[in-house]
Structure 1
Amino acid sequence: MKDILHFSHANGFPAGSYSTLLSYLSDDFEIGMIDRLGHHKDYPVTDNWSFLVKQLIDYFECTYTQPVYAVGHSLGGILSMMVATQRPDLVKGLIMLDAPLLTAFEARSLTLVKRLGWMDKVTPSGRTLGRKEEWGSVEQASNYFRGKRLFSAFDERCLNDYVNNGTQDHVDGGRRLHFNVEAEISIYRTIPSNLHCTKRLSMPSAVIAAKYSDVFKRRHGFKMSRQLGMDVSWLEGTHMLPLEKPEATAKLIKQYILSWQAL
């Protein structure tokens, strides 16, 4: 029986957006995922993402009969780490993709920013307000995203994955974003500011970071290595690394898990 790899997506990017990445892993692992975190009425988006963690924990408990390898990008990486710390019995290995553990100074600053109501100024939530949500066709949506800086380095297959899975047919024709914009904004506004004291992890763990990320910095890699006991690797790319370099990212994920299986 194959080991289970549960993949958790980044904010705004439904799990299907990672189809190309996961295709490189599906021969070796049983792949599991939740299509859109933060969209279930029983698991609302609240400060520090407590219900989103519960959504993952409940899904693991109800879906899997064995501990899983939890892999997540950005939002998904942080949530996977939170599950690993709260319920280590559910996770046999953890891999975070460009998902930082904030330093104590960053966490205190973020707490203050929340209190002052400035999250839209310091997180992508401000840029998400008023974003375009509808297009006349798949082709129009594809051309629109291809012209955006965030998507500029995407592997062409991953861009197609996002257009096909990140948008959906609209009742009036055309295409509409599949990830609710209000949920995306709420997730950005409630980024956890209470994780900086997280203890050393009890299972094998690693973080794969992007060399040119505007989210994950060298200080985060140092903190996660020293405090959590994580192995840290760096690949060429930006914060959207898994969708820019899907094959290289998948190769490193597989290498980590195979090395842990050999222990």
Structure 2
Amino acid sequence: MPTPIPLHFSHGNSFPASSYRKFLQHFEAGYDIGYIDTLGHDPRYPVTDCWPGLVEESLDYIARRYREPVIAVGHSLGGFLSFLCAVRRPELFRAVVLLDSPIFCRRVSTLLWLGKRFGFIERLTPGGGSRTRRHEWPSREHAVRHFEGRGMFAGFDPDCLRDYVAAGTVPAGEGVRLRFEREIEYRIYVGLPHDFPRYRGQLKVPTGFIGGNASEYVRPGDIDHMRRHFGILTERFEGGHLFPFEQPAQAADAVKAMLARLGQGGAG
């Protein structure tokens, strides 16, 4: 029987990795799946600007958890971290797939730096609402009804929404609250790296990008930047920024197709 291929998954900001159950189940045959369930919550790895602590947290886990180089699949925050980790320690990786995590061109990176420097970074990221959004409900069922059809959750597969509430809430008093701390979510957003252009020419690991056609975070300039300066293969997916939750089976198929393009097909 073939040895499972190690696959390290990294989640999006505020979405615990275990809430991607329906997406990740499509990799259970042929892959040894590992993840950090809630990035940024270990006080040994504080969340600061450009996320050096999150990179260290991920690299320490990968070096400890796997015995051979991994395929890294990361969504949003997780994709950015997978890229940064692969640049830093390429020997730990055999391939990387970024899910709606565009490696920003110089123009966007400069805008992010200016946002931090002059205090308008909250207008450039979703961080502005992180500290004030509702985070407690009388029950998990109340939480499901709260998110159902609302905002970014409107396109969720129903099972994925329930997985998010099950994995993303913990008991609190007579009800439940979000497991992902709002302050950590906020610090991750406002610390979004603005220095990606400095890594030009440093990516040595085969890497692919899959971006949602309806995602507001995927820009033509970033697509061109990834291709020209990093050699990243790019594909588009019929969905929004949260497409692994919207169409989990199709998203998994797209990842497997990208892995085949990267010379890593055959598992699953």
TM-score (norm 1): 0.96
Against the structure 1 CA distance between its residues 165 and 262, is the aligned structure 2 distance closer, same or farther, given a 3 Å change threshold? closer
Partner of 2:191: 190
Q: Structure 1: which 4+ aligned runs deviate by more than 4 Å?
A: none
Shift of 1:258: 4.0
Shift of 1:262: 5.8
Partner of 1:116: 118
Q: Which of residues 218, 236, 248 is equivalent to 1:216?
A: 218
Counterpart Cα distance in 1 of 2:195 and 2:221: 18
Q: Report the residue type matching 1:41 in the other structure.
A: P
Partner of 2:97: 95
Q: Which of residues 128, 140, 153 is equivalent to 1:151?
A: 153
Counterpart Cα distance in 2 of 1:138 and 1:41: 27
Shift of 1:73: 0.4
Shift of 1:187: 0.4
Counterpart Cα distance in 1 of 2:193 and 2:67: 29
User: What is the DSSP-based 3-state SS (H/G/I as helix, E as strand, rest coil) of the residue aligned with 1:31?
Assistant: strand
Q: Report the residue type matching 1:65 in the other structure.
A: R
The question of whether the paired residues in 1 share the 8 Å contact of 2:149 and 2:155 is answered with no
Q: Give the length in aligned residue pairs.
A: 262
The question of whether the paired residues in 1 share the 8 Å contact of 2:257 and 2:265 is answered with no
Shift of 1:56: 0.6
Shift of 1:130: 0.9
Partner of 1:43: 45
Q: Report the residue type matching 1:177 in the other structure.
A: L
Shift of 1:29: 0.6
1:134-145 → structure 2 map (5 Å cutoff): 134-145=136-147
Partner of 1:60: 62
Q: Which of residues 205, 224, 228 is equivalent to 1:226?
A: 228
1:169-208 → structure 2 map (5 Å cutoff): 169-170=171-172, 172-200=173-201, 201-208=203-210
TM-score (norm 2): 0.94
Q: Deviation digits for residues 22-81 of structure 1, max 9, x if unmatched?
A: 001111211100000010100000110011001111111111111100110000000000
Shift of 1:257: 2.5
Gapped runs of 5+ residues in structure 2?
A: none
- Cα RMSD over matched residues? 1.3
The question of whether the paired residues in 1 share the 8 Å contact of 2:10 and 2:36 is answered with yes
The question of whether the paired residues in 1 share the 8 Å contact of 2:136 and 2:177 is answered with yes
Counterpart Cα distance in 2 of 1:10 and 1:181: 14
Counterpart Cα distance in 2 of 1:183 and 1:162: 18
Q: Report the residue type matching 1:87 in the other structure.
A: R
Q: Deviation digits for residues 197-230 of structure 1, max 9, x if unmatched?
A: 3234222210010001011122222211111111
Identity of matched residues, %: 38
Counterpart Cα distance in 1 of 2:51 and 2:265: 34
Matched, 1:161 2:124: no
Counterpart Cα distance in 1 of 2:245 and 2:149: 16
